[in-house]
Structure 1
Amino acid sequence: MPAARESLLDAAFAASTSRPWSAVRMVDVAAAAGVSRQTLYNEFGSKEGLSRALVRREADAYLVGVERVLAAPAEGRDRLAALAEWTVSAARNNPLVRALLTGCWGERLPAPTLSAVPSSSAVPAQRRADGPLPSPSDLVTLVRDRAVAALSGPGTTKPDLLEIARSAELVARLSLSCVAAPPADGSVTDLVRTVLSRQLGRQGQSAQSR
């Protein structure tokens, strides 16, 4: 029941923003979604299953946003800057994304274990949610790999590919630092461009010295 599942996840997310997760009741989530409590249990199995599915959905939505900004018709440096802006914006507007990126969950949020849990669910989406959830370091790797795929092409040389990977990981980690401590002037884009320019300058000097 994909439609019912999304409605339940929407209701669970709304409930998690208005009160501590420990105070969120399954019966209230079902009522807010307009379905029976049995439908909720059929989809998620338990409150833990619901929390895992909710966290998985928000992680997936963040990565879809990553792919969207990287697919924009712009220069590589501009796309990486947009990636950083998206990361900071997503974390600012979504407490679950912020927790996924920083590992700081807090008492008000659902905080499922990131490792996989046994699953007997007949719902494929729930079986996936019961698998491992991404840690902050996992997300850095996932973002880096998506950036490499978006910014490289058939003619990309191995040295260039390595350079793209280094730049992408640098921006991913810089983005996380901006989530925890935003720049004083609020310009994430300027910070990323400055860092990338300095990195490229150092690489040019290193190449000339060889």
Structure 2
Amino acid sequence: MVDESVRLSFRRHLRKEAIRAAHALTLEKGWDRVRVSEVAALIGVSRPTLYKEFGDKQGLGDALVLEEAERFLVGIGATLDDHRDALEEAIPAAVRYTLNEASSSPLLKSVLTSPGADSRPEETGVLPLLTTSASMLELASARLVGWIGKHFPQLDSDDVIDGVDALIRLTISHVVLPTSDSAETGRRISEVALRYLGLASQMSLSRS
């Protein structure tokens, strides 16, 4: 009988390798043209093995998006923690991180954006993955709201929720249509959110 720890180790390795292969194939030719059989062949397992692990192709796509989202959110969390004593520094740093990551990650940019933008997801073939992007954005919002609530409990919770929503939407709009360097864009977006939270004056002082 196979030891349970060995079984779990195999599953973790299988998922990691399958997601890595799916990521490479998606960037190469678009998610709509990726076949589960191709992914299985690349990592040296049978197609039924992948179906057993992910359920279907959509299950594999969901895992791909969530893997990218988690990597991204870990980076956001580390960026925020570097400025945990000053929200007027933490928010601009997090926005700059997001803009830079989206610029360097075609998959992340695709799942953050929506149809109709200049960089259209249908052109890279990842449009079907957008079905999970809403949950990704909700997860990002929840993480940021939770972090602010933990480190700055004096702020009104409803204001934080609304401010974070505006912050995320403005950031995504600049991912789609960048107008300046990430530092200047981050400052402008952050100032809107901080003004809403009544912290714009602190941001001005931090720049002086």
Deviation at 1:17, TM superposition (A): 0.6
TM-score, structure 2 length as denominator?
0.70
Task: Provide the rounded CA distance (Å) in 2 between the counterparts of 1:110 and 1:176.
Answer: 16
Partner residue of 2:126 out of 109, 115, 118? 109
Deviation at 1:181, TM superposition (A): 1.6
Give, as a single letter, the amino acid of the residue that structure 2 aligns with 1:189.
G
SS at match of 2:134: coil
| 1:68–1:157 Cα change, 3 Å | same
The equivalent residue for 2:53 is 43
Task: Provide the rounded CA distance (Å) in 1 between the counterparts of 2:73 and 2:181.
Answer: 26
SS at match of 2:126: coil
Is the Cα–Cα contact under 8 Å of residues 52 and 112 in structure 1 kept in the other structure? Answer: yes
- Determine what percentage of the aligned residue pairs are the same residue: 27
Task: Provide the rounded CA distance (Å) in 2 between the counterparts of 1:93 and 1:24.
Answer: 22
Q: Which runs of 5+ in 2 are unaligned?
A: 1-10, 116-120, 203-208
Is the Cα–Cα contact under 8 Å of residues 72 and 79 in structure 1 kept in the other structure? Answer: yes
After TM superposition, list the pairs within 5 Å mapping 1:82-101 onto structure 2.
Answer: 82-101=93-112
After TM superposition, list the pairs within 5 Å mapping 1:48-197 onto structure 2.
Answer: 48-74=58-84, 75-104=86-115, 105-107=121-123, 108-109=125-126, 111-112=128-129, 114=131, 134-135=134-135, 138=138, 141-152=141-152, 156-157=153-154, 159=156, 161-187=157-183, 188-192=185-189, 194-195=191-192
Q: Which runs of 5+ in 1 are unaligned?
A: 115-131, 205-210
Task: Provide the rounded CA distance (Å) in 2 between the counterparts of 1:163 and 1:66.
Answer: 21
Give, as a single letter, the amino acid of the residue that structure 1 aligns with 2:68.
E
TM-score, structure 1 length as denominator?
0.70
Give, as a single letter, the amino acid of the residue that structure 2 aligns with 1:51.
G
Is the Cα–Cα contact under 8 Å of residues 40 and 46 in structure 2 kept in the other structure? Answer: yes
1:96-136 per-residue CA deviation (whole Å, 9 max, x = no partner) reads 3223322333251151473xxxxxxxxxxxxxxxxx76357
SS at match of 2:82: coil
Deviation at 1:147, TM superposition (A): 3.9
Partner residue of 1:21 out of 11, 31, 37? 31
The equivalent residue for 1:128 is none
Is the Cα–Cα contact under 8 Å of residues 66 and 86 in structure 1 kept in the other structure? Answer: yes
- Let me know the Cα RMSD of the aligned residues: 3.1
Worse-matched range after superposition: 140-149 or 24-33: 140-149
Count, aligned residues: 183
1:6-55 per-residue CA deviation (whole Å, 9 max, x = no partner) reads 10000000010111223222222112223332321221122222112212
Task: Provide the rounded CA distance (Å) in 2 between the counterparts of 1:133 and 1:181.
Answer: 18
